[in-house]
Chains A and B, each alone.
Chain A
Amino acid sequence: MKPHDETLLLDTPFAAGVRRACQLQDWGHWKGYATPNAYEDVEQEYFALRNAAGVFDLSPMTKYRIGGPDAGAFLNRLLTRDVGKIGPGRVGYCVWCDDAGMVLDDGTLFHLSEGDYRLCAQERCLDWLHWSALGFDVDIQDETAAVAALAVQGPTSCAALRALGLDGMQDLKPFALRSFAFDGGELLASRTGFTGDLGYELWTAPDHAQALWDALFKAGRDYLIRPIGMAALDLARIEAGFIQAGEDFVPADQVLRPGRGRSPFELGLDWLVDFGKGPFTGRSALLRERQRGSRFRFVKLDVQGDKPAADSFILNKSGKVVGHVTSAAWCPSAKRNLALASLQMPWGRPDDALYAEIYYSRELHWTRLKARCKVIEGPLWDPPRRRQTPAPDF
């Protein structure tokens, strides 16, 4: 692998397989790594995720290994949720905030073994982790390049992984971890993902990456497994209602203008904030917000029609702008036109009459549409197989 001073974009450990499969040569970049937007066809890749299995190379994901005697205490001070409730062998979704209670990033915390953690993040935050470590006896390593990772998502994912030789995969509970022997090394599997469906993520050393890619596609052939790019994954995560840093909120350390950050409450992540667990960064500010009220509400909107409301203003009945859409897509499986939106308080109540102002072009003929929006409560895409243990066989 070439270092960054020799090449603008790095290859992931799966590059040989990825490059072979990426017929469209439609490359994007993710945190300094070349990554396919699509391999062959976005829709087919999306439908593989929902009806078979899609494989996504998530090696560029920022990964930090956190150990040392105070690792648990350090993470509990860093994250808004109670880390003590994420036992060894478990994974938890989490956010962390700055002093003002504004979200810096969201990610997943893997409790690999007692006191040994991996924090997966969208943004790089080594400096923030180190500043947060003052007064704690912890060891923090950036292991982004040292861990190769694949997401295997979709209804046949479990069957495909069993065919790969990961025996007992069906018994892995959601947000649980398990280690397997593979290619003379270790393969860590977690029942996690970014699609809101049955799915797994596989973690191994870069030395075993090529073998894993080849073996997985060989074993998965009968399960209609195929590689998927960023575009299909994005569609799936919007359908599942998952937010993404940089899209649905601006990480607080990248915000330049006052007031543009968002708190966990303003992103609909109230359940991740635990005031009872003791001090954590942003606690005082979030407590104040709880008392005074939030500025924004984050909602899922069911938008009338089939035109995605990307970047739209959200208007109230009298035509006043009350917010904007952060992510939007026509969701093929849920069969809804979904928009994720940040609205000024108090807008976004279940019965509010809201409209998305959508502009779209048909052969360079632009049309403006005022589409009625309905606030959706609860998840839009939530198949039972997502939570079932043992995982259903397909």
Chain B
Amino acid sequence: MTEAAYDAIVIGAGHNGLTCAGYLARSGCKVLVLEANDHPGGLAATWEFAEGFRVSAAHLLHILNPQVAKDLALELHGLKCAAADLRTVALDGAGGQVAIYGGKVEGVDAADAVAYAEFHRQTQRFTKVLAGFCARTPPRLAERGWGDNLALARLGWDLRSLGKADMRELLRIAAINIYDVANDRFENPLLKAAIGLDAVLGSHMGPRSPNSVYGYLHRHLNDGLGGGGPRVVQGGMGALGEAFATAAEAAGAEIRYGCRVVRIDLQDGRVAGVTLADGNGFTANLVLSNANLKTTFLDLVGPANLDAGFVRRVHNFRAQGVTAKLHLALDGLPEFRGLASTDAGARLLLTPSMDDIELAFNHAKYGECSPSPIMEVSIPTLHDPALAPVGKHVLSAVVQYAPHRLRGGWEASRAAFLQTCVDRLETFAPGIGGMVLASELLAPPDLEKQFNLRGGHWHHGEIALDQALFMRPVPGAHRYATPVSGLYLCGASAHPGGGLSGLAGRNAALQAIREQEAK
């Protein structure tokens, strides 16, 4: 059975899908969003994992694009921050700490402080160029039109206006590793560890992996737009998902939950609509997929309907997650060694050195979990006490490395790795193990299942230069339009990638609108 036609169907109500739907609806399209889960937001989700304790998948808001937030009026639609401009505190577990806040760093000597201030200013200048490029559809390189030449010229101009020294430095470091760059500039191992962790969080990379610098710039995308430190969303990240959904609906989009798309229907090589798991379908000449690249093409369109070369590129898109999410319900507030009580609510990075990260990564290369994992920790209940019963707390940690394809499988290892994580936490916060009332570990296969995220990768696919900018996700689909006429990618698989920025959804919608109008 096929229901009434829409102008556009968005597959998936992740934040990018909703952003895309919002922009499309604002332009006058009749938009339907189909979401398999019963809540919006994708990884911007909050749920009760133990009685009275609520956690979010993505826990800190780093790079929400200000233009997207403004255009969709997210604050009007319920987005409130419980805390903003969080300090980032790196801990070595032995009492040492380094705190980073804006362009300043505490806990290091004067030389490192000066070097960091300059590094931060340079990062701001670099990410300003990058953020500009990330807010636009990348130009075509092979078959260029005047618009593409203009876009390239604009990128060239942006780079050139950095000045000779900065441009050279950006081109020098963009493709190299953060390990060398941090060692070039800094002495303090904890400061270097904090920078190294920022570069590889969410990626199958260690600090010494080629082009890990790009990961750092991506995480700091908003630095160049005047953005401060990370934010904590009031009510959990799910409230951000709700705000996106409310904004999309206010713009006129319709969202249906519990609707799993199992097929993108084609007619003579172009999109005709979608079919749901229950057999019902919707017709539309425009389908925008917030599902990841492989799900979209290998599962929903099907390889048989695509050219073999394109299928090969999709197949080779690196999208194996290495990041797990740990949630602990705590009887009280843990005390981390060396952490000032005023910093308890900060973004905590638990790793003493870049070598520690690299050693943790080595195991992932061979399909093993790190025996000594690195973590990004936040205790959201310090900013938003309603997330746990009175006097109790929630600890939320992004944990690496936990490869999606674990040797021996996750069923046999989940409990052991959770214990490894708690043991690791114990070395940083003695006594924390005894405070645990309940726990939850979401390994990449769990994220895959819970959020329909093939490969369980936070960003739908590795953020690396060969999968970024002109080449994200793959050549032939880097401008949101795909080889299937009428089908667009609008999720984190597309440029500029993941990270709750909303840019992929916005760019995809604007590109689709432009191309539909041109027809």
Asked if A281 CB lies within 8 Å of chain B CBs, one says yes
Asked if A152 CB lies within 8 Å of chain B CBs, one says no
Asked if B437 CB lies within 8 Å of chain A CBs, one says no
Asked if B269 CB lies within 8 Å of chain A CBs, one says yes
Q: Of A73, A99, A136, A258, which one neighbours B310 at CB under 8 angstroms?
A: A99
Query: Given A99-B476, A279-B269, are A134 and B303 also a contact pair (CB < 8 Å)?
Result: yes
Query: Given A134-B303, A134-B315, A258-B142, are A281 and B308 also a contact pair (CB < 8 Å)?
Result: yes
Asked if A388 CB lies within 8 Å of chain B CBs, one says no
Query: Given A135-B298, A135-B302, are A282 and B307 also a contact pair (CB < 8 Å)?
Result: yes
The answer on a CB contact under 8 Å between A99 and B309 is yes
Bound-complex Cα distance A73 to B304 (A): 8
The answer on a CB contact under 8 Å between B307 and A135 is no
The answer on a CB contact under 8 Å between B309 and A136 is no
Residue from B302, B309, B485 with most neighbouring chain A CB atoms (10 Å): B309
Q: Of A78, A285, A287, which one neighbours B308 at CB under 8 angstroms?
A: A78
Bound-complex Cα distance A131 to B313 (A): 10
The answer on a CB contact under 8 Å between A136 and B483 is no
What residue of chain B has the Cβ atom nearest to residue A280's Cβ? B307
Residues of A within 8 A of B483 (CB): 99, 284
Residue from B303, B308, B315, B476 with most neighbouring chain A CB atoms (10 Å): B308
The answer on a CB contact under 8 Å between A99 and B142 is no
Asked if B312 CB lies within 8 Å of chain A CBs, one says yes
Asked if B305 CB lies within 8 Å of chain A CBs, one says yes
The answer on a CB contact under 8 Å between B142 and A279 is no
Category for how many chain A residues contact B: 10 to 19
Bound-complex Cα distance A135 to B306 (A): 11
Asked if B311 CB lies within 8 Å of chain A CBs, one says yes
The answer on a CB contact under 8 Å between B312 and A134 is yes
Bound-complex Cα distance A136 to B310 (A): 15
What residue of chain B has the Cβ atom nearest to residue A98's Cβ? B309
Residues of B within 8 A of A394 (CB): none
The answer on a CB contact under 8 Å between A135 and B303 is yes
The answer on a CB contact under 8 Å between A132 and B308 is yes
Residues of B within 8 A of A135 (CB): 298, 302-304, 311
The answer on a CB contact under 8 Å between A77 and B269 is no
Q: Of B302, B307, B315, B485, which one neighbours A99 at CB under 8 angstroms?
A: B307
| Minimal beta-carbon separation of B144 from chain A (angstroms) | 12
The answer on a CB contact under 8 Å between B308 and A136 is no
Residues of A within 8 A of B142 (CB): 258
What residue of chain B has the Cβ atom nearest to residue A101's Cβ? B307
Q: Please encode chain A, from 245 to 289, with 1 for each CB lying within 8 Å of some chain B CB and 0 for all others.
A: 000000000000010000000000000000000010111110100
The answer on a CB contact under 8 Å between B269 and A131 is no
Residues of B within 8 A of A360 (CB): none
| Minimal beta-carbon separation of B267 from chain A (angstroms) | 12
What residue of chain A has the Cβ atom nearest to residue B314's Cβ? A134
Bound-complex Cα distance A132 to B311 (A): 8
The answer on a CB contact under 8 Å between B308 and A131 is yes
What residue of chain B has the Cβ atom nearest to residue A285's Cβ? B307
Query: Given A134-B315, A135-B298, A258-B142, are A77 and B309 also a contact pair (CB < 8 Å)?
Result: no
The answer on a CB contact under 8 Å between A136 and B303 is yes
What residue of chain B has the Cβ atom nearest to residue A77's Cβ? B304
Asked if A180 CB lies within 8 Å of chain B CBs, one says no
Residues of A within 8 A of B305 (CB): 279
Residues of A within 8 A of B269 (CB): 279, 283-284, 287
Query: Given A99-B476, A131-B312, A134-B312, are A281 and B307 also a contact pair (CB < 8 Å)?
Result: yes
* A residues 338-358 in Cβ contact with B at 8 Å: none
| Minimal beta-carbon separation of A74 from chain B (angstroms) | 9
| Minimal beta-carbon separation of B302 from chain A (angstroms) | 6
* A residues 119-140 in Cβ contact with B at 8 Å: 128, 131-132, 134-136
What residue of chain A has the Cβ atom nearest to residue B305's Cβ? A279
Bound-complex Cα distance A282 to B311 (A): 12
Bound-complex Cα distance A256 to B239 (A): 52
Residues of B within 8 A of A98 (CB): 307-309
Q: Of A73, A281, A283, A287, which one neighbours B309 at CB under 8 angstroms?
A: A281
| Minimal beta-carbon separation of A263 from chain B (angstroms) | 14
Bound-complex Cα distance A99 to B308 (A): 7
The answer on a CB contact under 8 Å between B311 and A131 is yes
Q: Please encode chain A, from 280 to 323, with 1 for each CB lying within 8 Å of some chain B CB and 0 for all others.
A: 01111101000000000000000000000000000000000000
Query: Given A99-B476, A279-B269, A284-B269, are A131 and B309 also a contact pair (CB < 8 Å)?
Result: yes
Q: Please encode chain B, from 292 to 307, with 1 for each CB lying within 8 Å of some chain A CB and 0 for all others.
A: 0000001000111111
Bound-complex Cα distance A136 to B305 (A): 12
Bound-complex Cα distance A78 to B142 (A): 25
What residue of chain A has the Cβ atom nearest to residue B309's Cβ? A99
Bound-complex Cα distance A283 to B485 (A): 13
| Minimal beta-carbon separation of B63 from chain A (angstroms) | 34
Residues of B within 8 A of A73 (CB): 304
The answer on a CB contact under 8 Å between A128 and B308 is yes
Bound-complex Cα distance A252 to B213 (A): 36
Residue from A99, A282, A287 with most neighbouring chain B CB atoms (10 Å): A99
Bound-complex Cα distance A48 to B494 (A): 62
* A residues 21-75 in Cβ contact with B at 8 Å: 73
Bound-complex Cα distance A89 to B186 (A): 74
Residues of A within 8 A of B298 (CB): 134-135
Q: Please encode chain A, from 64 to 105, with 1 for each CB lying within 8 Å of some chain B CB and 0 for all others.
A: 000000000100011000000000000000000011000000
* B residues 472-497 in Cβ contact with A at 8 Å: 476, 483, 485
Residues of A within 8 A of B307 (CB): 98-99, 281-285
| Minimal beta-carbon separation of B518 from chain A (angstroms) | 16
Bound-complex Cα distance A136 to B476 (A): 23
Bound-complex Cα distance A387 to B144 (A): 50
| Minimal beta-carbon separation of A273 from chain B (angstroms) | 14
* B residues 425-452 in Cβ contact with A at 8 Å: none
What residue of chain B has the Cβ atom nearest to residue A100's Cβ? B309
Q: Of B304, B309, B485, which one neighbours A279 at CB under 8 angstroms?
A: B304
What residue of chain A has the Cβ atom nearest to residue B298's Cβ? A135
Residues of A within 8 A of B308 (CB): 77-78, 98-99, 128, 131-132, 134, 281
What residue of chain A has the Cβ atom nearest to residue B306's Cβ? A279
Residue from A77, A128, A282 with most neighbouring chain B CB atoms (10 Å): A77
The 7 nearest A-B residue pairs measured at CB? A135-B303, A99-B307, A99-B309, A132-B308, A131-B312, A281-B308, A281-B307
13 interchain pairs, CB-CB under 8 A = A77-B304, A98-B307, A98-B308, A98-B309, A99-B308, A131-B309, A132-B311, A136-B304, A281-B307, A281-B308, A283-B269, A283-B307, A284-B483
B residues sitting closer than 8 Å to A (CB atoms) are 142, 269, 298, 302-312, 315, 476, 483, 485
A residues sitting closer than 8 Å to B (CB atoms) are 73, 77-78, 98-99, 128, 131-132, 134-136, 258, 279, 281-285, 287
